[in-house]
Amino acid sequence: MSEAHTTASTAFFDSIDGVVQALANAGYFADRQLATAVFLAIKLQRPLLLEGEPGVGKTELAKALAKALQRELIRLQCYDGMELRDALYEWNYAAQMLHMRAAESLHAGSEGVHELEREIYQQRYLIRRPLLQALQAPLPGAVLLIDEVDRADEPFEAFLLEYLGEYQVTIPELGTIRAASTPLTILTSNRTRELNDAVKRRCLYHWLDYPDRERELEILRALVPQASAALTEQVAQFVNRLRSQPFSSAFQRTPAIAESVEWAKALVALDTLTLDPEIVTSTAGILFKQRDDVAALTRELAAELLAPEQASP
């Protein structure tokens, strides 16, 4: 674990406000609670587990952190049936075989066999996968994104424990490999299944929700600057209401941040100045990715979503 690296990281993010500002400069708008979780993950050198609905910005946070910290982003995309060789390492068997054929004529007897085994299990025949790449990344270290860890099998979680707890892994032929510089590690989960408690204990935890109206407004202003102020306000208001009850219950999946940004860009491309039910329903395929959800956004519902909110009595 590198002390120099620790100092450099905390100096860059010297406060929670510093995290908010650095992420904003990288195009990511974090609220104070999320910025606090990020600050502590760096300060305490602990992995950060982010859970939340798809599309709330979990993966984007890792990308923004890599940009803000000027570190390499290394991504491990998890999936059902993923094996250790996909996540950590595998041996280059073809190269090992060539070496063996070239060397076998030079070795003889049992001593020759042992020598040959030592030669083929060298670092040069090791194919490094994301976890090992993150551990061996040079200063200032990497940002490791273990994306959608809930999609991997439970045995993979057990394998992760050594990495998450001690930033090290064990390769039988080479021994224990420790981090050259502690990777900033972000795990994401869409909660398709409950994660093992042992994994959670080794991480800081943060539930990431959809942004509130003001934060969504900030995102839209930054990412779709060509949209008029009035249109940006309307898009943020519309999407925010659509995600809230009772409207959200009409849909299987409400729009993510990426979809609201894409919708704003499409509205600009159509020279839209203000939203009305017709333009909303005709562009619903950008907000929703399922036929039933597109059909559920009728003109009547769009008009209701666009109507001024009633003041509380």
Output the DSSP codes for 99-168. HHHHHTTT--HHHHHHHHHHHHTSGGGEEE-HHHHHHTPPTT-EEEEEETGGGS-HHHHHHHHHHHHHSE
Q: What is the dihedral of CA 60, 62, 67, 70, to 10 degrees?
A: -170
Contacts of 170-177 spanning 24+ positions with Cβ under 8 A: 171/88, 171/89, 171/126, 173/121, 174/121, 174/123, 174/126, 177/132, 177/135, 177/136
* CA 78-47-40 angle, 5° bins: 145
Answer for the pair 78, 59: CB distance below 8 angstroms, yes or no.
no
Digit-coded pLDDT (tens) for 189-201: 999 899 999 999 9
Digit-coded pLDDT (tens) for 233-292: 999 999 999 999 898 899 999 999 999 999 999 999 999 999 999 999 999 999 999 999
State the pairing for strand pair 168-171/175-178.
Answer: antiparallel
**Nearest CA to 201 among 36, 84, 49?**
49
Structure tokens at 113: 């066999």
pLDDT of residue 149: 96
pLDDT of residue 96: 75
pLDDT of residue 92: 81
pLDDT of residue 114: 65
Q: How far apart are CA 304 and CA 247, in angstroms?
A: 10
> Tens place of pLDDT for every residue, the chain, 313 residues?
444 344 444 446 889 999 999 999 998 999 999 999 999 999 999 999 999 988 899 999 999 999 999 999 999 999 998 988 899 998 888 877 777 777 766 655 555 666 666 777 778 888 999 999 999 999 999 999 999 999 998 888 988 999 999 999 998 888 899 998 999 999 999 998 999 999 999 999 999 999 989 999 999 999 999 999 999 999 999 999 999 989 889 999 999 999 999 999 999 999 999 999 999 999 999 999 999 999 999 999 999 999 887 655 5
Q: How far apart are CA 18 and CA 293, in angstroms?
A: 40
Q: How far apart are CA 241 and CA 151, in angstroms?
A: 30
Structure tokens at 180: 């050259």
Answer for the pair 35, 19: CB distance below 8 angstroms, yes or no.
yes
**Nearest CA to 134 among 208, 60, 206, 62?**
62
Determine the length of the chain: 313
Helix, strand, coil percent values for the chain (each to nearest 5) = 55, 15, 35
Answer for the pair 186, 144: CB distance below 8 angstroms, yes or no.
yes
Distances (CA, A) of 176 to 80, 128, 153, 181: 27, 15, 24, 15
| Residue tagged 């940006």 (tokens) | 232
Answer for the pair 186, 145: CB distance below 8 angstroms, yes or no.
yes
pLDDT of residue 110: 54
Whole-structure pTM value: 0.83
